[in-house]
Amino acid sequence: MIRIDGVSHRIGKAPILHDITTHLPEGRLTALIGPNGAGKSTLLRLIGRLEPLQQGRVSVAGRDIAATPTEDLARVMAILGQQTSIASRLRLSELVGFGRWPHHRGRPTAHDHARVAEALEAFALTPMADRFLDEVSGGQAQRAHIAMAFAQDTDWLLLDEPLNNLDMAHARALMGRLRDLVDRQGRSVGLVVHEINYAAAWADHVIAMKDGRIVAEGSANEVLTEDVLSDLYDAPIAVASHQGRPLVLHHV
């Protein structure tokens, strides 16, 4: 479980998060939703220790992130931020290979190479594994970044808008793969999604944020209702039902 306990955050003088207490359940796929600027990325970055905690506590699988050595955390959780810029010029295979770094710290074994090949294959990147990151399309680069987090092979996987740039087939394939991680391998996944129907169709648990606060959390059926969503996005939103799960009609 990821426990978030009284976390507040400011940037300069501006308050971004207000005393957030919540949790991401273990062995579940949790979706974070909310309008632009709600603080979803900030919360995810705080959990992933990409941003230093100012107030409150966060623990991942029982380890307080402020007290656990960062190299140990890297073997427990992988985080992919919303901005996926890589400073050096790398081939896709090299990028995905870095996902294994927390395990080998510079001396990859045959097992590491095998995991990298697996991750490349899983995201249909094998044919372009030797191309440079700036020589592939935006969606292909995004898949390479996700494959890197995948290769890290951690109990927790945190992804900030992983569906960015993906076409619908790859978006659905990614959600299916994450579902598979949770159902078959007992992993836990937290992700920020804007396309709310992906949360409706695939998530076990949904956390809705607005203006730095949590406004609703629970199962997809509990959170993705007309009342909650209309309030959350300040716009009337109709919700239908499809195969027992909510189907959000936000585009009409």
Partner 1 sequence: MDKRGLSILLALAACLLLCAGLWMFQGLGGGNRGFILSLRASKLAALVVVAFAIGVSTVLFQTVAANRVLTPSIMGFDALYVLLQTLLVASLGTAGFASLPPGPKFMAEIALMTAMASLLFGVLLLKGSRDLPRMILTGVILGVLFRALSSFVGRILDPNAYAVVQSVSFASFNKVQPGLLPFAAAITALACLAAWRLAPRLDVLALGRDPAVSLGLRHRGTVLQVLALIAVLVSVSTALVGPVSFFGLIVAGLAHGLMRSTRHAALLPAAALSGAILLVGGQWLFERVLDQGATLSVVVEFAGGLFFLYLLLRGHIR
Looking at 4, 9, 17, 41, which residue binds Mg ion (CB under 5 A)?
Answer: 41
Query: In a 10 Å sphere around its CB, with 0-12 CB exposed, 13-18 middle and 19+ buried, how is residue 231 labelled?
Result: middle
Give, in order, the Cα–Cα distances in Å from 96 to each of 111, 145, 193.
Answer: 14, 7, 23
Using CB under 5 A as the binding rule, whether residue 82 contacts Mg ion is answered as yes
Find the shortest distance in angstroms from Cβ 226 to partner 1: 37
Of 13 and 107, nearer to partner 1 (C-beta) is: 107
Burial degree of 36 (CB within 10 A; 0-12, 13-18, 19+):
exposed
CB 133 to ligand ATP: min, Å: 22
Min dist CB 41 to ligand ATP, Å, is 3
Residue 16 engages ligand ATP in binding (rule: CB under 6 A): yes
HEC string for 32-79: EECCCCCCHHHHHHHHCCCCCCCEEEEEECCEECCCCCHHHHCCCEEE
Footprint of ligand ATP on residues 35-64 (CB under 6 A)? 36-42
Q: How many CB atoms lie within 10 A of CB 40?
A: 25
Site for ligand ATP in 78-117 (CB under 6 A): 82
CB 81 → partner 1: shortest distance, Å?
Answer: 5
Which residues form the interface with ligand ATP (CB under 6 A)?
Answer: 11, 14, 16, 34, 36-42, 82
| Chain residues that interact with Mg ion, rule: CB under 5 A | 41, 82
